[in-house]
Amino acid sequence: MKVDPVLLQEFQKRLEESQHKMTQKVFITSAYKLDTAEIDRILAVFPQIRDKEYENIVDKNLLGGIIIRFGSKVIDLSIEETLDSFLKHIYEIN
């Protein structure tokens, strides 16, 4: 199948852009929908993600707190994670 080289180029450009966005985009997961003021406060604390595009994901399982994900990095400040690590420590003491 012959593809118009211009079309192919355009398509590749789009693909690269979307991939770039995927890695650059910051995902902030929280137990409820955050408003802009709250997100601004979060972004102020973490310089790594300040100028990046973000998306807010709601996950009730978190119970509270937030999880920030960008690229392959995660900053986990959720209650769920804290409880999990607590459980692990108790297990280790046993």
Partner 1 sequence: MKLIDQYLQEVEKNLKSAKVKANVKEVGIVEELRDGVALALGLDNVTFGEVVEFESGSKGYVIDLMEDKVGIIVLGDYLKIKSGEQVKALGYTLSVPVSDEILGRVVDPLCNPLDEGSAIRADKTYPVEKIAPSVVLRKSVSVPLQTGIKAIDALIPIGRGQRELIIGDRGTGKTTIALDSILNQKHENLICIYCGVGQKNSKMALVVNLLKKHKALDYSVIVSASASDPVSTQYLAPYAATAIGEYFMDKGKDVLIVYDDLSKHAWAYRQISLILRRPAGREAYPGDIFYLHSRLLERSCRLNEKAGGGSMTALPIIETLEGDVSAYIPTNVISITDGQIFLETDLFNAGVRPAINVGLSVSRVGGNAQTKGMKQVAGRLKLDLAQYREMAAFSQFESELDEETKKLLNRGSKVTQILKQDKNKPYTLAEEIVILWAAHKGYLDTMAVADVESFEKTLIELFRQRGADLAKHIVKEKVLNEETEGRLKKLVEDVISKN
Which residues of the chain form contacts with partner 1 (CB under 8 A)? 45-46, 48, 69, 71-77
> In this complex, which beta carbon is closest to partner 1, that of residue 10 or of residue 71?
71
57 with 26: CB under 8 angstroms?
no
According to DSSP, the residues that pair with 27 across neighbouring strands are 55, 69
Taking Cα atoms as reference points, which of 53, 49, 51 lies closest to residue 73? 49
Q: Closest distance between partner 1 and the C-beta of residue 71, in Å?
A: 6
> In this complex, which beta carbon is closest to partner 1, that of residue 36 or of residue 94?
94
CB atoms within 10 A of CB 42: 19
Q: Closest distance between partner 1 and the C-beta of residue 73, in Å?
A: 5
> In this complex, which beta carbon is closest to partner 1, that of residue 9 or of residue 19?
19
Q: Closest distance between partner 1 and the C-beta of residue 1, in Å?
A: 27
64 with 79: CB under 8 angstroms?
yes
